[in-house]
Amino acid sequence: MDGPDVGWYLIVAAALFGIGALGVMLRRSPLIVLLSLEIMLNAANLTLIAFARQHGDLGGQIFALAVMAVAAAEVAIGLGLIVAMARRGMLLDVDQASALRG
């Protein structure tokens, strides 16, 4: 088997996931939050592919493709929401969109 050990891939994936999670938790712009979400999804993809290679099983790769499709759909809806917010002249700040407060 070529390339580095699977552990390295996992470290990179963990780093990406952490960056994405921090982005979701700390940034206020919905656009960046969405971006960070994508990073988290891709971190998950990376682990899937890494394990797929280690086990020599294409299932993981196929699953990664499915995750991409979901991500694409999510971006389409998320961006649509953000555009709608912008059109209504709302502030692009997730902390301001708190009308569902109890």
Partner 1 sequence: MVAGAWICLLSPLGGAVAITLAGTRISRTTAAYISTLTTFVAFGGALIAFFGLWAEGHGDREVVSTAYTWLESGDFRVELQILLDTLSSTMMLIVSGVGGLIVWYSMGYMRGDDEERRYFAYMSLFVFSMLMLVQAGNLLLLLVGWGLVGLASYLLIGFWHQKPEAVAAAKKAFVMNAIGDATMALALVLLIWETGTLGYFGVFDQASSMSTTTVNLVALGLLGGAVAKSAQIPLHTWLPDAMEGPTPVSALIHAATMVTAGVYLLVRAHPIFEAAPDVQHLAAILGAITLLVAGVIALVQWDIKRVIAYSTMSQIGYMFLAAGIGAYGYAIFHLMTHAFFKALLFMSAGLVIHHLGGEQDIRKMGGLHALMPKTHMAFAVGSLALMGIPIFSGFWSKDGIIAAAFAEGDALGYTLFAAGLVGALLTGLYTTRLYLTVWRGQPSSFVSEHAHEGHGEGPRSMLYPVGVLTVLATIGGLVVIPGVWEPFLHWIDESAEPLVKATVAQDYGTSALGVSLALLGFYVAWRAYRAGRQIVTRPGTWHVLEHKLFFDEAYDALFYRPAVALSTALRRNVEEPVVERSLDEIGSGALQAGGEVARIQSGLLRTYAVAISFAVVVLVVVFVAVR
Site residues for partner 1, window 7-26 (CB under 8 A)?
A: 21, 24-26
DSSP string, the chain: --SS-HHHHHHHHHHHHHHHHHHHHH---HHHHHHHHHHHHHHHHHHHHHHHHHHT-THHHHHHHHHHHHHHHHHHHHHHHHHHHHHTT--S-TTT--TT--
Least distance from partner 1 to the Cβ atom of residue 38, Å = 15
Least distance from partner 1 to the Cβ atom of residue 3, Å = 28
99 binds partner 1 (CB under 8 A): yes
Q: In terms of CB distance, is 59 or 96 closer to partner 1? A: 96
Contact code string over 78-97 relative to partner 1, x by CB under 8 A: ----------------xx-x
69 binds partner 1 (CB under 8 A): no
